[in-house]
Amino acid sequence: MAVEQPQAPAMARAGEQTRIHDIGYRSYDGPRLGRAYARRSLYSQSLRGAYGLGRSAKSKVLPMLLFVVMCVPALIMVAVAVTTKANDLPVHYTRYAIIMQAMIGLYVASQAPQAVSRDLRFKTVPLYFSRPIETADYVRAKFAALASALFILTAAPLLVLYVGALLAKLDFTDQTKGFAQGLVSVALLSLLFAGLGLVIASVTPRRGFGIAAVIAVLTISYGAVSTLQAIADAQTNTGAVPWIGLFSPITLIDGVQSAFLGANSAFPGGAGPGNGEGVVYVLVVLGLIAGSYGLLMRRYRKVGL
Amino acid sequence: MYDPTVARLTYRALLGRRRALILGALPVLLIVISAAVRGFSGADDQVAADVLGGFALATMVPIIGVIAGTGAIGPEIDDGSVVYLLSKPVKRPTIIFTKLIVAIAVTMVFSAAPTFVAGLILNGNGQQIAVAYTVAALVASIAYAALFLLLGTVTRHAVVFGLVYALVWEALFGSLVSGARTLSVQQWALAVAQKVAGGDLVTSDVGLPTAVILLAAVTAGATWYAGQKLRTLKLAGEE
């Protein structure tokens, strides 16, 4: 607080009385946690945000609902398998994500814009970069967070199936192998979908538009591919079916897992890709993941600077 | 009931920049697919009905309806600029009605017109299939636009809920629970198309009178309720 000077000064002496008050600011001399810590925080906050944790109650509704909807069919299948003493689960581990693809698509569409669009819209991206983190840290943290969130969403029902299968005393080695194959497949799916979703969402600051664009890319490509495959199959042009499958994300995953992870293809006529075509599938999937990472890096190199 | 200035602004918002890109990409994709299918397998009535029913009517029309219907009012409410519109001496139902007309027009242009072209490419309107599905797309455009415009005024997550309805309810539930098909805009539109085509290639689970009554009721009801919602609109902050 400024203390009033006791003697009333003349106007001529006013200049001598000006001074800077010490109001007790202290500089920080604790440990600096640095870049890795900031990146970890951004990752964990984005991951929590993807399920609405730490956000308003309203924004918890949709991700939690989708999570429950993903798990309920698995619970029902397990209950059926345990009570009827079945010899196998009604659905293969690798097939589960293909069946529930609408839920996964909706989850990516709702959470990818949530992760990046609001930072763009409220121009908070420059604030992140005023911290020790670099462009690559931001992109990696967001990418990893969305991929982890998707992995939790897709692996949880598989875990339910696996535990249920063991409770139903199904063959241990058989189930463990299927479970492991399922996990690899959903890990690939999570990376692919997270990359595509983030690239599309990072282009627009409008959340609604981002959602529509992500879902349009996922559904339209799947609708187009499955229609073409059905027609190719009906025309007994079976050789073309696997090649058409290269053009939509979910059929890409389907192709990879039916070529290398022992899954039965969901393609019409069960005509999944063979090993040769499977290599192309894997290359396309990895290329798409790397490509979306590169595009994100390019996008954030310029944004907000 | 129709305000040209509001209409002009809505057109500009809907067709401006990137939104027009995504609206235009879908019809182009449909036409490319139709051309590919025609080259692949030649003219075949069943294939034409499959492509138009499975891709155009089931996927493309709802998505364009969601983008146009919610896009007509959603972004304005989202960024708060709707208060400038609401503070003008224009009746709220008039605003809704004008935006509905614009949304319907945009949905029709971007969904029904390419459906017709795709139908012509696929089998040259054999057995009236192109015309039937175009009529279905036109009818569905009206109901979808009204429905999704209402969603745009009710919730900030209009796009998500619109897509949940279009993809989960109509596609997933409709294929599992037959009762869900009675309450689906797609089936109502198909009932009208069935009447136009007359053959057995286009079928619907709903009778024509029921379909027409439900279509009219949903469109009118949604428009009226959207007008009411806009009268008592509260601007929420960003969460």
The tens digit of pLDDT for each residue in A11-33 reads 556 667 788 888 888 888 888 88
Residue A155 backbone dihedrals phi, psi, to 5 degrees: -85, -25
Where on the phi/psi map is residue A236: left (φ > 0), alpha (ψ -120 to 50), or beta?
A: left
Res. A271: pLDDT tops 90: no
CB-based contact B157 A231, cutoff 8 Å: no
Please tell me the predicted confidence (pLDDT) of residue A183. Answer: 94
Q: Is A235 on the interface with B (CB under 8 A)?
A: yes
Q: How far apart are CA A72 and CA A161, in angstroms?
A: 11
- Pick from A58, A204, A219: CB nearest B18: A204
Q: What is the pLDDT of residues A131-181, one digit of tens each?
A: 888 889 999 999 999 999 999 999 999 999 999 998 888 888 989 999 999
Q: How far apart are CA A79 and CA A167, in angstroms?
A: 10
Cβ-Cβ contacts under 8 Å, B15 against chain A: none
Can you tell me the mean pLDDT for A272-295? 90
Q: How far apart are CA B159 and CA B144, in angstroms?
A: 13
pTM: 0.81
CB-based contact B159 A213, cutoff 8 Å: no
Answer with the residue of higher pLDDT: A300 or A234. A300
CB-based contact B37 A216, cutoff 8 Å: no
CB-based contact B22 A212, cutoff 8 Å: yes
Across chain A, mean pLDDT equals 86
The percent of residues in chain B predicted with pLDDT above 90, rounded, is: 24
Can you tell me the mean pLDDT for A29-51? 92
Please tell me the predicted confidence (pLDDT) of residue A5. Answer: 52
Please tell me the predicted confidence (pLDDT) of residue A13. Answer: 60
Cβ-Cβ contacts under 8 Å, B63 against chain A: 212, 215-216, 219-220
Can you tell me the mean pLDDT for A105-115? 91
- Pick from B36, B59, B171: CB nearest A220: B59
Angle between helices A172-201 and A249-260 (to 10 degrees): 150
CB-based contact A224 B33, cutoff 8 Å: yes
Task: Provide the pLDDT confidence category of residue B237 given band limits of 50, 70 and 90.
Answer: low
CB-based contact A106 B58, cutoff 8 Å: no
Answer with the residue of higher pLDDT: B179 or A84. A84
Q: How many CB atoms lie within 10 A of CB B48?
A: 28
CB-based contact A209 B75, cutoff 8 Å: yes
Res. A9: pLDDT tops 60: no
- Decide if B137 contacts B55 (C-beta within 8 A): no
Measure in Å the smallest separation between the Cα of B124 and chain A Cα atoms: 18
Q: How far apart are CA B149 and CA B230, in angstroms?
A: 11
Q: Is B101 on the interface with A (CB under 8 A)?
A: no
Residue with tokens 């199959």: A233
Residue spans per domain, chain A: 34-302
Q: Is A68 on the interface with B (CB under 8 A)?
A: no
Q: What is the pLDDT of residues A248-265, one digit of tens each?
A: 999 999 989 888 888 788
Measure in Å the smallest separation between the Cα of B66 and chain A Cα atoms: 8
Can you list the pairs that A229-235 forms with residues at least 24 positions away whose Cβ atoms lie under 8 Å?
A229/A267, A229/A268, A230/A268, A230/B50, A230/B54, A231/B37, A231/B40, A231/B41, A231/B47, A231/B50, A231/B51, A232/A268, A232/B40, A233/A267, A233/A268, A233/A269, A233/A271, A234/B47, A235/B40, A235/B41
Chain B residues 154-193 with a CB less than 8 Å from chain A:
157-160, 163-164, 167-168, 171-172
Measure in Å the smallest separation between the Cα of B20 and chain A Cα atoms: 11
Task: Provide the pLDDT confidence category of residue B239 given band limits of 50, 70 and 90.
Answer: very low
CA B130 to each of CA A2, A223, A227, B106, B190: distance values in angstroms, whole numbers, following the listed order: 85, 19, 17, 20, 13
Res. A199: pLDDT tops 90: yes
Please tell me the predicted confidence (pLDDT) of residue B215. Answer: 92
Rounded to two decimals, the ipTM of the complex is 0.70
Q: What is the pLDDT of residues B146-170, one digit of tens each?
A: 999 999 888 878 888 888 888 778 7
Please tell me the predicted confidence (pLDDT) of residue A1. Answer: 44
Res. A236: pLDDT tops 60: yes
Q: What is the pLDDT of residues B103-149, one digit of tens each?
A: 999 999 999 999 999 989 888 877 788 888 999 999 999 999 999 99
Q: Which residue in chain B has the smallest CA separation from A55?
A: B239
